Structure 1
Amino acid sequence: MTKVSFKKALVALDATLMDGFVLEYVSQFYKSFGIEEIIFLHAIKEIDTRIEIDGYADAETNALDEIKEKLTYKIGQYDFKDSRTEIVVKHGSPAGIILRDAVEFSFDLIVMGRKRSLEGSGIVSSHIARKSPTSILFVTQNMNPSLRNILVPVDFSEHSSLATHAGVTIEEHSKAKLSLINIYDVPLGYYKMGKTYEEFAEIMEGHAKNDFDLFLKSNDINTKYPCHFTVRGSNSKIDIVFEYALESRSDLIIIGSQGRTNASAVLLGSFAEKMVFRDTDIPVLIVKKEGENMSLLQALLSL
């Protein structure tokens, strides 16, 4: 079976109240993700040196050291004793630094907060989600800090296979239970075939279940994982996933990023992007194929 590893994680902190939510979540569940090494990174765009320009270099070093000292105290309030940790503070564009470090140091996972009402616009998290070459976990502001039920939406593609394998990895390291959801469609013009909508929906569900069995077999996934099948109807797939996530009390949603590239960016698939930035309190993990779009991102970061 294809293994998805999260052994080395970069945890992005922004020195706001959101850091507390991120640190609480990571400290509770880093073992559940199989994380063995954590780099806590804070990137600061502007440094208030308050001195004459000829002493700027020393002032910048002192300012970064002061920030690191404060972060060391904050992180020390949480338990990371079973992992290797390091605190890094850098001066520059937060998104640029996070993406460059993800490439240079080959992280398996980026963890960062996604805000609803706290300070910050979310521009950085949106930029990183689109361009990150590695998997990324968004911890939400008003989450329920638990990990009992994991939900993976599947369309039986390669990317949903990666997301499922990620769920298997987390389940193996925790007490969480993994389940899947598949949303199928009834084709337009079904009535021309002499069947009701309900009759055709039943036929399409049968096809979906057959595809699911083939998906499990071809991807070497254990058949013990239940899958909820539902017809889309007039609802959006995003709404259906989140409604079912709430109904099933899911604590984490895992999605595969169906990445695509163009001359200037590395983009998420539209479904993945809408899932990440939906106004919800459930953490979302985007799983990306190892090395996918890496060469393009390296070229972009070198500009």
Structure 2
Amino acid sequence: MYLIKKMIVCLDQSSLDKTLVEFAQFIARVNQTKKIFFVNVIKNLSVPKEVLEEFPNLIENMITERQNAMQKTVSEVFGDQKDISLNYVVKEGNLSKKILKLSEEKSVDMIIIGRKTTLPGTGVAALRLARRASCSLLIIPETTVPKVQKILVPSDFSEYSKDAMEEAIMIAARHGNAEIVCQNVFNVPSGYHFTGKTYEEFTQIMQMHAEINYKKFIRKIDTKNIKITPVYTQDDNDDPVQEIIDKALEIGADGIVIGAKGRTAATALFIGSMAERLIQFNDTLPLLVTRPKGKNAGILDYILEI
């Protein structure tokens, strides 16, 4: 995993902006961050030609006003910051496309975007960014506070789960050895009765194999002496995402870290149903969708559409 040297923070002039800036400052403090791009994307900047002829500086003034508003919010959190280059960018067009293009141009390590619950917003941009971005994506719900004491990492012990665990370990180490809880959600297959075992017996068998697989999984990872507690959750309702959210709330997690499944050009749009549904339904805790930097080759086709 890598340090977050460059990041993009998506702002929209809502009350959520300050929360996102606070998270950016929190992350920058322990990651030797060098550049942050605060970006505001305006859907439509088109102005009738006649109006522009009468007010030739209208668009320029509008952009300057947006940049000044972002700078004011950022300065309230960062103060007189000298070690980090703070940049204010205003773009016109589709939010996800503009952010993706900028992230490629600047080779950023992380994109931060908000998750609105009471404020107007659809959440579509976060899902598009998670599918297409060639870096990690941090999704921040309204009113959350940046802190790292306990992290939940859902895991099926796959390679992309390994990415998520390694990132969580790096985060925990940078923030004073926070605790990590590794959750495996399992279910009992519908044909279990053909084995001659009872439901309870087969539940024990499934958990036993999960415990064995966790031991194999964690042996391949440098835990950096971070405390990692495995938990095994049986999914009786065919809703593993709800089990993850419930467990995160139960243990008082400060955030969830999950790996994006798409790692190559062939799987660029597939981040995994678990990650997709977490993005859609988790509106309580910060969610970090990890992807090894540069792994998503499918971004090229998307940029060509812009």
- Structure 2-normalised TM-score? 0.88
Match of 2:44 in 1: 46
Moved more, 152-161 or 72-81: 72-81
Secondary structure of 1:289's counterpart equals coil
Shift of 1:39: 1.4
Instruction: Indicate yes or no: 2:229 matched with 1:226.
Output: yes
**1:202 maps to amino acid:** Q
> Are 1:205 and 2:203 an aligned pair?
no
Q: Which residue of structure 2 lines up, in the alignment, with residue 103 of structure 1? A: 104
3-state SS in 1 of match to 2:228: coil
Letter in 2 for 1:280: D
- 1:66 maps to 65
2:8 and 2:112 in contact (8 A); partners too: yes
Q: Structure 1 stretches of 5 or more lacking a match? A: none
**Identical columns (%):** 29
Distance 2:259 2:294 in 1: 14
Aligned partners of 1:35 and 1:83 also within 8 Å: yes
Instruction: Confirm or deny that 1:15 pairs with 2:16.
Output: no
Amino acid aligned to 2:78 = D
AA matched with 2:156:
D
Q: Which moved more, 1:129-138 or 1:165-174?
A: 129-138
Residue 301 (structure 2) aligned to one of 295, 299, 302: 299
Q: Offset of 1:234 from its aligned partner? A: 2.8
For the 8 Å contact 2:279–2:287, the answer to whether it is kept is yes
Q: Tell me which amino acid in the other structure corresponds to 2:19.
A: F
1:257 and 2:260 matched? yes
Q: Is the 8 A contact 1:49 1:63 kept in 2?
A: no
Structure 2 counterpart of 1:277: 280
Structure 1 contact 8–108 (Cα < 8 Å) conserved: yes
| CA RMSD between the two structures | 2.6
CA distance in 2 between counterparts of 1:259 and 1:37 reads: 27
Residues 94 and 161 (structure 1), Cα distance of their counterparts in 2 relative to 1, 3 Å cut: same
Q: Does 1:177 align with 2:179?
A: yes
> Secondary structure of 1:151's match?
strand
- Inter-partner Cα distance in structure 1 for 2:141 and 2:189: 36
Question: Cα–Cα, structure 1 residues 226 and 264, in superposed 2: closer, same or farther, change >3 Å?
Answer: closer
Which of 264, 269, 285 is matched with 1:266 structurally?
269
1:25-46 per-residue CA deviation (whole Å, 9 max, x = no partner) reads 3333433566443211112223
Per the normalisation by structure 1, the TM-score is 0.89
Q: Is the 8 A contact 1:72 1:87 kept in 2?
A: yes
Deviates more, 1:142-151 or 1:281-290: 142-151
1:46/1:36 Cα in 2 relative to 1: closer, same or farther (>3 Å)? same
**Alpha-carbon offset, residue 190 of structure 1:** 2.2
SS in 1 for 2:217: helix
Gaps of 5+ in 2: none
